[in-house]
Amino acid sequence: MDRIYLDYAATTPLDRRVFAKMEPFFTQDFGNPSSIHTFGQQAEAAVDNARTGIAGMFHVSTDGVIFTSGGSESDNLAVRGTALWQRRTHGKNKIITSPVEHHAVLATVEQLGDAYGFDVHLVKVDRSGKVDLTDLERLIDEDTAVVSIIFANNEIGTINPVSEIAEVCHRKGAIFHSDAVQAAAHLEFDLENSPIDLISIGAHKFYGPKGVGALVSRKKPELFPQITGGKQENGLRAGTHNVPSIVGMAEALLLAREGMAVRSPELTHMRDRLIERVTEEIPGAMVTGDLKERLPNHASFVFESVDGNRLLVQLDMAGFACSSGSACKTGDPQPSDVLLALGIEPKLALGSLRVTLGSGTTDEHIDSFTRALPGLIEANRKRNS
């Protein structure tokens, strides 16, 4: 059976062109960038080159790029690192985030509240998952150390008005971090002309390798390292550089940028066709997230009287790989916190489905998926009744 992968928000395949750039750094150019000798210098040059490339794409200085082990570490570094720094240097004690963040942010903020005594606040979101700016204005004050709001949501695809959010933060002197792990594959960022202070990315969401990411800001950020030890990354992240992956991430981001203008409208077209067919042909189907301000590759639904986890198994048996939320939640019978935060009833939230498109997706894939789904939903409902 030909399997159809429709879970590009969970991860993407490594682009062969990226792999080709990475390969020499596993074997012949294996030096440690911190070593003095020529092997080390060559590896250091490769890391510097990747840093310059990424800094250029974000319009920031090279000091503003910190390589990490992925999106989660980048979120941790931004949120915990900044909160602790702001408390130490300015006595600030408040953190604001939203209830629809990835757990890499939510669990970090929870820990900062429980174990470090920060005053944590969750800003309201509307039914599409967008931050309520009035509520943010109400919560934020001069005591706010850091505000972290997701750029584009992994479960529902909604894109937040991050520039407006950042303006609100700046008026009160708070640092604004945005988790752009999902957004990086689809949107361009110019941090030089944007009020956003810190952005997190992870390469495996844009056809780069797993286990590498970055925290990006206009200049060297003020924060405490979360991995202490050697002086790598300007003293902000210790540990021998993952040279092949760093090289791969820079190449993957470049290719994502180059391909965006052509690929983005194609993805949007397929996504809209999928959404239209699913909502037209399946009674009791509802789109989650914003219909317009959403990632071009992202479709997400809830279905009345459907067991979402069972639906994933049925889809898998029929040859389709999808998700019911973020990858980390698959198999978890609890309704998604993100969907509950939108005001969706817990029972309805249990019938969620996320379909995310990518480089391998074709019109034929959308056709066969939308042909198969109504029957699977019907069978699922019969077992549920």
Ligand X SMILES: Cc1ncc(COP(=O)(O)O)c(C=O)c1O
**Binding ligand X by CB under 6 A: which of 242, 300, 326, 380?**
326
Alpha helices in the chain (DSSP H): 16-22, 38-58, 71-90, 103-114, 133-139, 162-171, 243-281, 308-317, 337-341, 346-349, 363-384
> What's the min distance (Å) between Cβ of 314 and ligand X?
23
> What's the min distance (Å) between Cβ of 173 and ligand X?
26
**Which of the following is catalytic: 328, 343, 378, 379?**
328
**Using CA of residue 41, residue 228, residue 72, residue 223, what is the dihedral sign?**
negative
DSSP string, 188-227: ---GGGS---EEEEEGGGTTS-SS-EEEE-SSS-----SS
Residues 255, 12: Cα–Cα separation, whole Å: 14
Is residue 297 a contact point for ligand X (CB under 6 A)? no
Residues 6, 368: Cα–Cα separation, whole Å: 12
Binding characters for ligand X, 213-252, by CB under 6 A (x = yes): x---------------------------------------
Is residue 253 a contact point for ligand X (CB under 6 A)? no
Identify the CA nearest to 25 among candidates 56, 47, 54, 48. Answer: 47
| Residue 169 annotated as catalytic | no
> What's the min distance (Å) between Cβ of 129 and ligand X?
12
> What's the min distance (Å) between Cβ of 71 and ligand X?
3
Identify the CA nearest to 115 among candidates 84, 144, 143, 75. Answer: 84
Residues 319, 332: Cα–Cα separation, whole Å: 22
In single-letter form, the type of residue at position 109 comes to V
Is residue 104 a contact point for ligand X (CB under 6 A)? yes
Residues 371, 277: Cα–Cα separation, whole Å: 9
DSSP tag of 55: H
Sheet holding 65-68, edge to edge: 65-68, 213-216, 198-202, 175-179, 144-148, 94-97, 119-122
Binding characters for ligand X, 142-161, by CB under 6 A (x = yes): --------x---x-------
Q: Which is nearer to ligand X, 31 or 207 (CB)?
A: 207
Q: Which is nearer to ligand X, 18 or 285 (CB)?
A: 18
Q: State the residue for tokens 């997400």.
A: 300
> What's the min distance (Å) between Cβ of 1 and ligand X?
27
**Binding ligand X by CB under 6 A: which of 31, 33, 64, 70?**
70
**Binding ligand X by CB under 6 A: which of 72, 82, 226, 245?**
72
Is residue 179 a contact point for ligand X (CB under 6 A)? yes
Site size with ligand X, rule: CB under 6 A: 16
**Binding ligand X by CB under 6 A: which of 202, 244, 296, 335?**
202
**Binding ligand X by CB under 6 A: which of 182, 336, 359, 370?**
182
Residues classed as catalytic: 328
Binding residues for ligand X, per CB under 6 A? 70-72, 75, 102, 104, 150, 154, 179, 181-182, 202, 204, 213, 326-327
